[in-house]
Chains A and B, each alone.
Chain A
Amino acid sequence: MAEEHREIDALTGTATTGHEWDGLRELNTPLPRWWLWLFYLTIVWSIGYWIVYPSWPLLTNSTQGLFGYHSRAALVEDLDALKRQRGPMMDKLASASLAEIAADPQLLDFARAQGRVAFADNCAPCHGAGGGGAKGYPNLNDDEWLWGGKLTDIEQTIRYGARSGDSRARAGSMPAFGRDNILKPNEISAVADFVRSLSGLPAEAGVDLALGKKVFADNCAVCHGAEGKGNREMGAPNLTDKIWFYGPDKATIVQGIQNGRGAVMPAWGGRLSEPTIKALTVYVHTLGGGEK
């Protein structure tokens, strides 16, 4: 080493590199040599990655690596491990009846967890993330059910849907009383106000509620019942309570009577597995409105 070039900076007592730029000199505070070797070692180590993992792109593929690692295969492996881990509970869920699931707290927790995910994947687009519903899509948290709120009722609705085209689907529609010339406009207006009065909502001034009552008895009571309490066989909603499927305002009610209603729920029987349907049933049942 050329010691003669070594120049000690007076201020710091440190040797300089000998480089000088217009009077500026660079102090030499050398790193230890082992650090340099470690640096080279990391470079050598990185070559190991080329060898054991897929790395270099080829024309149609890439080098595969000695370990045979593939991120897609690793994912499949992880999913399989998850399935194995859930296996016993899934088997239990598959073989248990709905009543058995509801009676077993551990299985109920498992089913609800499964159901929550399945609900988010399949049901949330219409019914909302928490089953809160929307206009024309029922709220699954409340205590009114169009087609019944027992476990078996809910399961049947999920499996076959409503007006879905499946022969076992929930069927029954609100006819288009106005469009099909069954009722005249003044009768529709009167019966709409009468329907509002069933749940204590005020009627419009000057409306003949007696006419509305008569129209209701002649046309609506067949499905909605003489007292307007609805009929779950037909999916006819209870008109006397505070829950409205489409809305309580007169215009919405008139629209329903004029054009009819027939919201469709798809049949999930062929699309979802049996345990998933059970899990969904239990989940919806425990949202808050499940009936015994």
Chain B
Amino acid sequence: MTALVTTPLDQPAPGAPALAQLVKEVEAEGAPPEDDVPLYAPRRKIYPQSVHGRFRTIKWAALAVTLGIYYLLPFVRWDRGPNAPSQAVLIDFPNRRFYFFFIEIWPQEVYYLTGLLILAAMVLFLMNAVAGRIWCGYLCPQTVWTDLFFAIERFVEGDRREHMQRDARAWTAGTYARKAVKHFLWLIVAWWTGGAWVLYFADAPALVKDLATRQAPFIAYAWIGILTATTYALAGHMREQVCLYMCPWPRIQAALTDEYALNVTYRYDRGEPRCSVKKAEQLRAQGQPAGDCIDCLQCVHVCPTGVDIRGGANLGCIQCGLCIDACDAIMSKLGRPTGLIAYDTDLNIKQRLEGKKPFYKLVRMRTALYAGIITVVGGIMLYTLATRDSEGISVIHDRNPMYVRLSDGAVRNGYTIRIVNKRLKYRDFIVSVDGLPSTLVDFVGLPPRADGRQLVTVGPDQTKEVRVVVTDYSATPPPPSSSILFRLIDIDSGEVAEMRDHFFGS
């Protein structure tokens, strides 16, 4: 509900009839009309027409690349040795690992995901600041799959005109057959989409074999079913409704854009007033203004969301550029210059209307800021990734008892230590403690080696929890609390990881 006008109660709004007048009208006309305004909007079916041109080619290329990556990436192999999977991209839930080519992420390193999400958001914002909804028009999965489903629909049911005519006529067996084939092909694509999805979560070739022989776990079939259903529903049936009603990005995008961002724009300075080719010639002959737009509606007919771009930038326009291709084709045929619809700004239209030169401002505060944030966040991520340790130690001091006094007066503290080995091989570690004058470190239940040293062996890509007691044997009683440093040393490579904790003396 939106309050349109706020008016002091004691006086009528400007131009509004006085209350007495309203009462008189109501009494004369009876009750106000029934509440029969439709509150739910019916769906308008969209039959996008096929189109050829520069942006269509770009969209086909984007479709081929993105879907190619999605469907084939799980099959790319990456040799990591015998102790890790050899799939380049793998989300290994049972073992809590994420593999991406040479990178292996542990659960405690999901902050990289946070970094990735920040990067993704900033790249999205930057795209938006430079040239509007590039994401929506070319890269969004909803756009890409819908585009593919449109192509299948046109292949089976014919282009816009043929399809509309057939739908409008009484349906024949042929109509039903075409629709059946279309839905079957859609389901095949949807099923393949779901099938590719699960391959990211297990060894792809083995899972394909298991799926084919019905040996795969139920969860794999369930997810294929879910993804099949969502792809079929979203790309086949929901289509532009997702962009219009479900997606938050058009709303956010509208709040983030500025007057310098390039957007798919109808250049009304050139297009208006709209008139037929003949009329335009007459008008021009008389020296009167005539627009280039001949109102052929090609831009509307090719639009996948059914928008009329000539109404200006709006929420429904995903800025895929197909109307540019359609309009350019018409303008070429008419012998008029192309670019009646183009990536441009409203600011430039106003400039041209005022007889000034259009200008483009790529480097602005917001593009510089977005690029800066991307550089900084990306740099931090690269730095932490490049310098991250292959081993780690975490220490938990015993809560009870905080310290133990031994029979000879020495003080002992107990700790639970977890040693992390991120290398894909067995490693032997030794732990030393700094910060006390005379200490003895003892691993509980760990038999010493022949040389008397207690070494902890941690398996490849694993962690190990051990209990350690540290005893202070110095003659002077230790202070109530000392800061001590646990040092984890790989005895082969000499790599060191450190962790600070406390030693309580009383």
The residue on A at minimum CB distance from B398 is: A130
Chain B residues near A215 (CB-CB < 8 A): none
B39 within 8 A of A: yes
A82 within 8 A of B: no
Chain B residues near A26 (CB-CB < 8 A): 1-2
Contact with B along A17-42 (1 / 0, CB 8 A): 11110111111101111111000000
Contact with A along B39-79 (1 / 0, CB 8 A): 11111000000000000000000000000000000000000
Task: Quote the shortest CB–CB distance from A245 to chain B (angstroms).
Answer: 12
Task: Quote the shortest CB–CB distance from A291 to chain B (angstroms).
Answer: 12
B41 touches A32 (CB 8 A): yes
A278 within 8 A of B: no
Return the contact of B444 from the options A19, A133, A286 (Cβ within 8 A): A286
B195 within 8 A of A: no
Q: How many residues of B contact A (CB 8 A)?
A: 42
Task: Quote the shortest CB–CB distance from B250 to chain A (angstroms).
Answer: 14
Which residues, 243 to 283 on B, are CB-close (under 8 Å) to A?
A: 244-245
The residue on B at minimum CB distance from A141 is: B404
A241–B407 Cα distance when bound, in Å, is 5
Task: Quote the shortest CB–CB distance from B52 to chain A (angstroms).
Answer: 32
Contact with B along A166-191 (1 / 0, CB 8 A): 00000000000000000000000000
B452 within 8 A of A: no
Interface of B is mostly: loop
Chain B residues near A142 (CB-CB < 8 A): 404-407, 412
Task: Quote the shortest CB–CB distance from B315 to chain A (angstroms).
Answer: 11
Task: Quote the shortest CB–CB distance from B15 to chain A (angstroms).
Answer: 11
A31–B39 Cα distance when bound, in Å, is 7
The residue on B at minimum CB distance from A31 is: B40
Return the contact of A2 from the options B16, B34, B467 (Cβ within 8 A): B34
B43 touches A34 (CB 8 A): yes
B41 touches A144 (CB 8 A): no
B444 touches A288 (CB 8 A): yes
B401 touches A23 (CB 8 A): no
Which among B5-13, B164-172, B332-340, B366-374 touches the partner chain?
B5-13
B4 touches A25 (CB 8 A): yes
Return the contact of A241 from the options B2, B399, B408, B412 (Cβ within 8 A): B408
B506 within 8 A of A: no
Which residues, 433 to 476 on B, are CB-close (under 8 Å) to A?
A: 444-446, 467, 469
B401 touches A141 (CB 8 A): yes
A178–B464 Cα distance when bound, in Å, is 55
Task: Quote the shortest CB–CB distance from B175 to chain A (angstroms).
Answer: 23
Which residues, 414 to 431 on B, are CB-close (under 8 Å) to A?
A: 414
A35–B241 Cα distance when bound, in Å, is 10
- In this complex, the member of B399, B407, B409 whose beta carbon has the largest number of chain A beta carbons within 10 angstroms is B407
A131–B9 Cα distance when bound, in Å, is 76
A6–B467 Cα distance when bound, in Å, is 77
Chain B residues near A19 (CB-CB < 8 A): 35
Which residues, 309 to 350 on B, are CB-close (under 8 Å) to A?
A: none
A108 touches B445 (CB 8 A): yes
A112 within 8 A of B: yes
B33 within 8 A of A: yes
B3 within 8 A of A: yes
Chain A residues near B32 (CB-CB < 8 A): 18, 20
A288 touches B469 (CB 8 A): yes
B407 touches A1 (CB 8 A): no
Which residues, 260 to 286 on A, are CB-close (under 8 Å) to B?
A: 286
Chain A residues near B405 (CB-CB < 8 A): 142, 242-243
> Contacts A1-B36, A238-B407, A288-B412 hold; do A34 and B400 have CB atoms under 8 A apart?
no
Chain B residues near A54 (CB-CB < 8 A): none
A23 touches B414 (CB 8 A): no
B479 within 8 A of A: no
A228–B355 Cα distance when bound, in Å, is 111
A11 within 8 A of B: yes
Chain A residues near B245 (CB-CB < 8 A): 31-32, 35
Task: Quote the shortest CB–CB distance from A74 to chain B (angstroms).
Answer: 18
A56–B2 Cα distance when bound, in Å, is 42
Question: Can you give 15 A-B contacts (C-beta < 8 A)?
Answer: A1-B38, A5-B33, A5-B37, A11-B4, A20-B32, A23-B5, A24-B4, A24-B5, A30-B41, A32-B244, A112-B467, A129-B399, A129-B400, A242-B408, A243-B406
Contacts A17-B35, A30-B39, A286-B467 supplied; 7 other A-B pairs, CB < 8 Å? A20-B32, A31-B40, A33-B40, A36-B40, A105-B446, A242-B406, A242-B407
